[in-house]
Amino acid sequence: MIPLSWYLIFAAALFSLGLYGVLARRNAVALLMGVELMLNAVIINLIAFWRYIGFAGMSGQAFAVIVFAVSAAEVAVGLALVISIYRRRNTVVAEDIDMLKF
Amino acid sequence: MDAMQFVFLAVAAVTLAAAFMVVSSRSLIHSALWLVLALFGVGVVYVLLNAGFFAVAQVLIYIGAIAILFIFAVMLTRKVMQDTGPQQNSNWWYAALVAVGIFASLFYMLNAWSGFNTPLPALANEAGLISDLGLAMVNTYLLPFELASVLLVAAMIGAIYVSYTKK
């Protein structure tokens, strides 16, 4: 029998790895990969709390569906922005993208 | 240690190792492929949590759509950032410090919470979970569900508009 704490520790570790990726990587596409890892950790937390504490209702799963949709929208717009910047500036390095108007 | 615990520990170890490779691999294509493995491990965790719908959605949406989108983006922007040169910025040491600090403080705070070691409660109607979710999405959570679809359409139109090049 797996206690709730295992899922929470696993999700916290996954979130921290994603956070490291967001803060440390230079490539903008790699930053978005880190964001995906963090969102997955959040969804694990939502579903684990639903299964262990709120399993009488469906609030946790409904919330997780919304997070799924938001993360799909986020990655679509994010990658479109990266490709647009690449076409105009010929770079995908996050620290070189430091102007609001090209 | 029973079979469920063994499966969880093995999946968690593989997923965390894959996630570490995602953030540390030099080649971005390798990062994207490790991301597929990490997302698949998270899908197995959903199965362990009796959330079958999310396991299927994980494979269809994350692995089938998002990871492929990442691979497309990496291949479209490959020319300027080859696999040589530093992949981490100069502040990576602070980033590692912040990540470890966040993990340690999360662990500390969760450890102080009384429900941290809640045992697994038995599910009453395991077969009806997906239909329950579907009913909840069109009854109680109808407005957020419709808002999510509006958000997806807006994101799709926005992504096309942003990446469209005028000839």
pLDDT of residue A8: 93
Residues 148-167 of B with CB under 8 A from A: 148-149, 151-152, 154-156, 158-160, 162-163, 165
Domain that includes residue B32, residue range: 1-82
A62 vs B141: CB contact, 8 Å cut-off?
yes
What's the first-to-final CA gap in chain B, in angstroms? 63
Domain containing B71 — which CATH number?
A: 1.20.120.1200
Do B6 and B75 belong together in one domain? yes
B77 vs A15: CB contact, 8 Å cut-off?
no
Tell me whether residue B51 is in a domain.
Answer: yes
User: Of all residues in chain A, what percent carry a pLDDT higher than 90?
Assistant: 54
Q: Which of A39, A27, A98 is nearest to A74 (CA)?
A: A39
Tell me the shortest Cα–Cα distance from B75 to chain A, in angstroms.
Answer: 11
Residues on chain A touching B48 (C-beta within 8 angstroms) = 2
Alpha helices in A1-102 (DSSP H): 4-24, 28-52, 59-89
Mean pLDDT, chain A, whole residue set: 89
Do B78 and B132 belong together in one domain? no
Residue B91 per-residue DSSP state: T
Tell me whether residue B48 is in a domain.
Answer: yes
Tell me the shortest Cα–Cα distance from A43 to chain B, in angstroms.
Answer: 9
The CATH classification number of A4-96 equals: 1.10.287.3510
CA atoms of A75 and B155, how far apart (whole Å): 9
Chain center to CA of A49: 19
* CB of A34 less than 8 A from some CB of B: yes
Tell me whether residue B115 is in a domain.
Answer: no
Of B99, B110, B132, the CB nearest to A8: B110
Tell me the shortest Cα–Cα distance from A99 to chain B, in angstroms.
Answer: 17
Identify the segments of chain B with pLDDT beneath 50: none
Out of B59, B82, B105, pick the residue that ends a domain. B82
B141: amino acid identity, one letter = Y
Q: Which two tokens stand for residue A32?
A: 């978005």
Average pLDDT over residues A25-54: 91
Do B73 and B135 belong together in one domain? no
Residue A40 near residue A74, CB atoms below 8 Å:
no
The verdict on pTM exceeding 0.95 is: no
Q: Which two tokens stand for residue B5?
A: 């615990």
Overall number of domains in chain B: 2
Residue A45 near residue A8, CB atoms below 8 Å:
yes
Q: Given a cut of 90, is residue A71 above it in pLDDT?
A: yes
Do B138 and B75 belong together in one domain? no
CA atoms of B167 and B164, how far apart (whole Å): 9
* CB of B29 less than 8 A from some CB of A: no
CA atoms of B16 and A23, how far apart (whole Å): 18
Do B9 and B75 belong together in one domain? yes
Alpha helices in chain B (DSSP H): 3-24, 28-48, 52-57, 67-76, 92-111, 129-138, 142-163
Out of B82, B111, B136, pick the residue that ends a domain. B82
CB neighbourhood size of A95 (10 A): 11
Average pLDDT over residues A46-68: 87
pLDDT of residue A88: 83
Tell me whether residue B21 is in a domain.
Answer: yes
Tell me the shortest Cα–Cα distance from B9 to chain A, in angstroms.
Answer: 9
**Number of cross-chain residue pairs from A and B with Cβ atoms under 8 Å apart:** 244
Q: How many CA atoms lie within 13 A of B83 on its CB side?
A: 9
Do B71 and B143 belong together in one domain? no
